[in-house]
Amino acid sequence: MSDKLNVEREADGVADSIAVVAIVAVVVCTLYLWLSGMPT
């Protein structure tokens, strides 16, 4: 039973890390597009 809990925790950790990477990537892309459109 504890093995099943560990697998679920690892899956949650992977999902959380993927979500964080996706959010950071969206923020970085948004800032890049916003700042590249500004006049120099």
Q: How far apart are CA 2 and CA 22, in angstroms?
A: 30
The one-character DSSP state at 39 is: -
Q: How far apart are CA 40 and CA 23, in angstroms?
A: 28
pLDDT band at 39 (very low <50, low <70, confident <90, very high): confident
* Chain-centre distance for alpha carbon 9: 17
Q: Which two tokens stand for residue 40?
A: 């120099």
Q: How many residues can be counted in the chain?
A: 40
Runs of H (alpha helix) within the chain: 2-36
Q: How confident is the model at residue 5 (pLDDT cuts 50, 70, 90)?
A: low
**pLDDT at residue 18, rounded to an integer:** 96
Q: What is the pLDDT of residue 24?
A: 98
Task: Give the pLDDT confidence of 9-36 residue by residue, as tens digits.
Answer: 787 889 999 999 999 999 999 999 999 9
